[in-house]
Amino acid sequence: MKRLVFQLLLACVPVVFMSCEKSDGERPFSLREQITVDGLERTFLLDLPSGYYDSSGFDLVIALHGTGGSGEQCKKDYGWSQKAAQAGFIVAYPDGVRSRGALGIRTWNAGGCCGYAEENRIDDVRFISTLIDDLVARYRVNPKRVYVTGMSNGAMLSYRLACEIPGKIAAIAPVSGTLITTAPCTPSRPVPVLHIHSALDTIVPYRGGIGIGGYYFPPADSALRVWAGVDGCAQAPETLTDNEKYTAVRWKDCREGTTVIRYLTKDGGHSWPGGPKSRPGADAPSTAINATNVIWDFFHHYTLP
């Protein structure tokens, strides 16, 4: 595994830019925004539910794309905007920093992965922390009901965020990723975790090993054992479901009413279960579960103390 020493960067002052993609008269519901963090212009999409201007205290889901993806791709492929419209919450889709190569691939610095963001020590924890503060200040967000999910490299960053800023995140739901922080994970509070993976994933292998980019990825179950320990759960998980499509297990008796749950599908691959195939040549998504529905059902049970 690649190891880099984490360094604090200069303090940031958020500068906000906003443009509207669709609106109801003067009231926008879908926005493209940017803030400046550590001298970098960071961009994100934001979708507001239809009842936004008539109420307050909305839940916020932050959805993180994988390596080579974007906020726009995340919005298109993972179904969060449709779920937000149905359930009435706000969803944000941040963009990772582009590499300087010809393809301009976006990545996140999850600690021991990935690509340009890791190699250049981009402070994505500070970016997401600043983004949360900004959205809580400017939008009708309930600060006790902020959740983070992510695919692949985005899943890895969601783990790192739970390690480093647990006071701002009520729960996380990594999909097809693992815990790959370079520093020990010692959050100040127990954090509920829902992990989703395919047993057939070869990009970030569920059982660990060399995957995409030549990175070594620790087994997903090792990450879950870390969180079971952090959350003070019973050592052995109980089986919730075990059928021909997937298995689901839960670590219970955790501190402060938290829990750790793992869904392992027996089909699909490195893809978002229940979503579309993201591009030609990509792994077919699992049809065993709809990850977005499962994650939202998990999230809405949890609130920060």
Query: Can you say how many angstroms the Cα of residue 85 is from the centroid of all Cα atoms in its chain?
Result: 19
**197, pLDDT greater than 80:** yes
Distance CA(196)–CA(88), nearest Å, equals 24
Amino acid letter for position 133: D
Mean pLDDT of 187-195: 97
Helix, strand, coil tally for the chain in percent (to 5): 25, 30, 45
Residue 134 three-state SS = helix
Residue 165 three-state SS = coil
Does some domain include residue 5?
no
Does some domain include residue 61?
yes
Q: How confident is the model at residue 103 (pLDDT cuts 50, 70, 90)?
A: confident
Q: How confident is the model at residue 26 (pLDDT cuts 50, 70, 90)?
A: low
Q: Which residues contact 240 (CB under 8 A, 6 or more apart)?
A: 248, 249, 250, 261
- For residue 159, what is the domain's CATH number? 3.40.50.1820
Range of the domain at 121: 17-299
* CA triple 63-170-40, angle to 5 deg: 45
Q: How confident is the model at residue 300 (pLDDT cuts 50, 70, 90)?
A: very high
Does some domain include residue 8?
no
- What local confidence, expressed as pLDDT, does residue 227 receive? 95
Does some domain include residue 6?
no
Tens of pLDDT, residues 256-291: 999 999 999 999 999 999 999 888 888 999 999 999
User: Out of 6-20, 22-36, 134-148, 211-225, which region has the weakest mean confidence (pLDDT)?
Assistant: 6-20
Does some domain include residue 2?
no
Q: How confident is the model at residue 25 (pLDDT cuts 50, 70, 90)?
A: low
Does some domain include residue 7?
no
Does some domain include residue 79?
yes
Distance CA(154)–CA(96), nearest Å, equals 9
Taking all residues of the chain, what is their mean pLDDT, rounded to a whole number? 91
Domain total of the chain: 1
Using CA atoms, how far residue 80 sits from 67, 85, 208, in Å, is 18, 9, 28
- Are the beta carbons of 127 and 42 closer than 8 angstroms? yes
Determine phi and psi for 156, rounding to 5 degrees: -65, -40
Does some domain include residue 105?
yes
